[in-house]
A = this chain, B = another copy of it.
Amino acid sequence: MTMNLEYLFEPRGVIVTGVSSHPGKFGFVALHNILSCGYKGRVFAFGREEATVLEQKVITSFDSIPANEADLMILCTPVGANEELLRKASEKGVKAVFCAAGGYSEIGDEGLKAEKRLVTLAAELDLVLVGPNGQGVVSPPAGLCAQIVAPYAPKGRIAVVSQSGNFVSSFLNYANQTGIGISRSVSAGNAAATEIIDFLEWFSIDPATDVALCYIEGLEKGRDFFERIKEITKKLPIVLVKGGITVGGQRAAASHTGSLASDSKIFEGMTRQAGVTRAPDIESAFEIAATFATQPLPNGSRTLVLTTAGGWGVVAADAISQSSELVLAPLPNDLKETINKLLPPRWSRNNPVDLAGGETRDTIPELLSVASKHPEIDSIIQLGLGIQGNTANLVRTGKFYPEHGLERIVNFHERQEKRYAEASIEVSLTSGKPVLVASELAATQPNNPMVKTIRDSGRLCYISANRAVSALNHLVRYSGWRNQSN
């Protein structure tokens, strides 16, 4: 049965333990982040000494906490204190505990014993226990940043769970950079009582979440994991990075999370069978999840490339041809004839549709509109945008601007970029088909008007044709898998 994690991600109130005035301590940092990032529920700071920390009165006894006002407790106290705190919190109606404190199984046998006691006690008290030794929980829909690390993240549709707290931070960093936000994120720590699969299961019934993003190093109960994950993927796409897929990596994982070596080939086969999207690295994992979160699922593999830059068309065609799922859509005759009317004869007359400099003011929006409506086109990858905006940037920052007619042409270039980007978003929404825009300017010039327009629309501008192709390939694979499985 799916665990109830609502008290973890949507708590009415939060207790933080281990609060003191030292700004380097976990208790202080967790309290700071909760208060500073705008959590609206009640916050109780619990510490050993009466004090005022961050304008918050530190309480030294649970007697001062009213019953049923706090659903969640963040433990930043030493091992020896925590069992007693669980009991007291339970008496006050707390339902979920995130244990950020370390000193448990990660340090050896003594810690393992303490961890087992904590797990048993939490079960007795009917408490959800997350961690120990985790970096925290973040839930932008609740305004909650209950973690001992940075950053917070904008609200969005991606739910993150990770066996490595640092990768939670990595994904949240990408969320901040791209504006593609987060619904929930949690560092599973030692995952003593609540495991990765429990989070994934809950994400699949969470109305705030459209895709799960997950880093995992080891599985203790592989069969159980696969039985459950293949049910989840029928409803929710899961993007997964596996650490420890080589002997060298497994040795490092054993030291990091105590994970046992597993057979990478078997894991690969089972995740594939279960419709899990495997990402090779952290950066592409985020990109793929962001694509699931912001583009419609494609109905098929027939991909059209539209480009105003010939070289990008060539490498996109290579990438599509090398991909496992995508095909360069054969250009339908009626579409070819329509394009003939829009462009002078030097266009490529094939897919990629290379405009070869033949476009005028309205060509790109018109072409996008026509192509996206065509029943033999499932997805569009659009390349070469941003170049006019880049030219505008060189002129705008140059020594002759704004004289000599430069202001007018800069404004024209920038307006056009904005229009092109708006058109790509609009035709995607209208047609219900993925339209992915790629340009290295996404990385190199975030204020390019094309890049900014895509970003402000809540979508991702990919840094290259290759990355867009890779992300789209995963959507097509998952889409096909889900159609077969449901």
**Given A173-B444, A440-B283: A406 and B23 within 8 A (CB)?**
yes
Q: Which residue of B151, B166, B251 is within 8 Å of A350 (Cβ)?
A: B251
**A234 within 8 A of partner (CB):** no
Q: A32-B398, A249-B321, A255-B354 are in contact. Are A315 and B281 (CB under 8 A)?
A: yes
Give the docked Cα–Cα distance between A217 and B318 (Å).
11
Q: Report yes or no: B37 in contact with A173, Cβ–Cβ below 8 A.
A: no
Interface presence of A424 (CB below 8 A):
no
**Residues of chain B contacted by A241 (CB below 8 angstroms):** 315
28 A-B pairs within 8 Å (CB atoms) are namely: A22-B405, A23-B404, A35-B399, A36-B394, A54-B400, A150-B387, A151-B394, A164-B314, A166-B309, A166-B311, A166-B312, A173-B390, A176-B444, A177-B445, A217-B311, A217-B314, A243-B315, A245-B322, A246-B317, A247-B321, A248-B328, A249-B317, A249-B321, A252-B313, A253-B314, A255-B348, A255-B350, A281-B464
CB A260 to nearest CB in B, in angstroms, measures 14
Interface residues of A in 252-270 (CB under 8 A from B): 252-253, 255-257
| Chain A facing B: main interface SS | helix
Interface assignment of A65: CB less than 8 Å from any CB of chain B: no
How many residues of chain A get a CB closer than 8 Å to chain B's CBs? 98
- Known A-B contacts A173-B440, A281-B464, A283-B440; A248 and B311 likewise in contact (beta carbons under 8 Å): no
Expressed in whole angstroms, the Cα–Cα distance for A331 and B354 within the complex equals 53
Indicate whether A354 sits within 8 Å of B281 (C-beta atoms), given known contacts A36-B398, A166-B387, A384-B166: no
- Mark interface residues in A377-404 (1 if CB within 8 Å of B CB, else 0): 0000000100100110111001110001
Docked CA distance A322–B242 (Å):
14
Instruction: Determine whether the beta carbon of B32 is less than 8 Å from that of A317.
Output: no
What residues of B have a CB within 8 angstroms of the CB of A295 in the complex?
A: none
Q: Does A271 count as interface, using CB distance less than 8 angstroms?
A: no
A3 close to B (CB within 8 Å):
no
Give the docked Cα–Cα distance between A467 and B391 (Å): 30
Q: Report which residue of A152, A312, A315, A399 has the largest number of chain B beta carbons within 10 angstroms of its beta carbon.
A: A315
Are A173 and B445 neighbours in the complex by a CB distance under 8 Å? yes
Proximity bits, A95-127, B CB within 8 Å = 1, else 0: 000000010001100000000000000000000
- A466 at interface by CB-CB < 8 Å: yes
Contact B150 A393, beta carbon cutoff 8 Å: yes
Evaluate contact between B387 and A36: CB separation under 8 angstroms. Answer: no
Interface residues of A (CB under 8 A from B): 21-24, 29, 32-33, 35-37, 53-55, 102, 106-107, 149-152, 162-167, 169-170, 173-174, 176-177, 215, 217, 241, 243-249, 251-253, 255-257, 280-283, 309-322, 328, 346, 348-350, 352, 354, 357, 384, 387, 390-391, 393-395, 398-400, 404-406, 408-409, 440-441, 443-445, 463-464, 466-467
Tell me the smallest distance from the CB of A473 to a CB of chain B, in Å.
Answer: 14
| Complex alpha-carbon distance, A271 and B274, angstroms | 40
Which residues of the partner chain B approach A352 to less than 8 Å between Cβ atoms? 252
Instruction: Name the residue of chain B whose CB is nearest to the CB of A251.
Output: B350
> Which of chain B's residues has its CB closest to A152's CB?
B394
Write the chain B residue with the least CB distance to A147: B394
Q: List chain B residues, Cβ under 8 A from A463.
A: 283
Q: Which residue of B lies closest to A283 (CB)?
A: B464
Chain B residues positioned under 8 Å from A173 (CB to CB) = 390, 440-441, 444-445
